[in-house]
Structure 1
Amino acid sequence: MLDEGPGGATGYVDGFLIPVAPDQKDAFFDLARRAAPVFLEHGATRVVEAWGDDLPNGKRTDFNRATKVTDGEKVVFAWIEWPSREVRDTGQAKVMGDPRMQDPGTVPFDGKRMIFGGFLPILDQ
């Protein structure tokens, strides 16, 4: 698991489900380790990448079916915490324009099966 950043008040969360082949696990985490500091430099407060471990089959759908895993792939559950939607929108644009993100090399997953979206927290501790 990769967990970078101090965390803090979370006003917005980007969430991801990503199918990754077992033989691509190291390459995926290398990519995540290179990307996390870029997100943190551009306003994110925390970046978490977690390798699927206990993903039971559901009656209608589940993590595996949602991402259409094949051949032993695992689902990575990831999220990026931001102070607000505004910081996320500005930061995300900066991340996409950052030279370190321009050539990620071979992407170790099928991006067409990645699920992602932005979320507003509903509980504040």
Structure 2
Amino acid sequence: MPHYVDGFVIPVPQKNITNYQRVAKKASKVWRDHGALAYFECVGDDMEVKNLTPFPKLAKTKPGEVVVFSWAVFKSRKDRDRANKAIMADPRMAKMCNESKDLFDCKRMAYGGFKVIVEA
């Protein structure tokens, strides 16, 4: 069954990861309440790669920052679009935005929607 994925790459100061995780757990509930089939937040662990572009370089991390790679899975793009409208209107999001404003620079967050072309 086809799915649609929203993906995020976020440089986060290492010192903020615990607080970021706390806010992300709240966010996961909002996304799931509005139709996400799955929601993941992952912090960089094995970032020393050779002959490829490592995520920290791609995300232009600064000293003391780590990459968070996140995604939410939806049934379809239509469901994702509907969910995102509801998520952005959800009052819990405004509160979380206030909580997270000092955790990372959201202007440096990369985001995109992806059509799944292989699912195994």
* 2:54 corresponds to which of 62, 70, 78: 62
SS at match of 1:77: strand
Q: TM-score, normalised by structure 2?
A: 0.89
SS at match of 2:95: coil
SS at match of 1:25: helix
Aligned position for 2:35 = 43
* Higher mean displacement: 31-40 or 66-75: 66-75
Aligned position for 1:85 = 77
> Does residue 109 of structure 2 align to residue 114 of structure 1?
yes
Change (3 A) 1:10 1:23: farther
1:62 deviates by 2.8
1:93 alignment partner AA? K
Contact 2:5 2:74 in 1 (8 A): yes
* Structure with the higher fraction of residues in helix conformation: 2
C-alpha RMSD over aligned residues: 1.6
> Does residue 23 of structure 2 align to residue 17 of structure 1?
no
Q: TM-score, normalised by structure 1?
A: 0.86
1:59-107 per-residue CA deviation (whole Å, 9 max, x = no partner) reads 5743112211112211011100001100000000000000100122242
Q: Kindly tell me the number of residue pairs found equivalent between the two proteins.
A: 117
1:10 deviates by 5.4
SS at match of 2:62: coil
Contact 2:23 2:99 in 1 (8 A): no
Higher relative contact order (CA 8 A, sep 6+): 2
Q: Which runs of 4+ in 1 moved over 2 A?
A: 56-62
Within 2, Cα distance between the matches of 1:91 and 1:40? Answer: 9
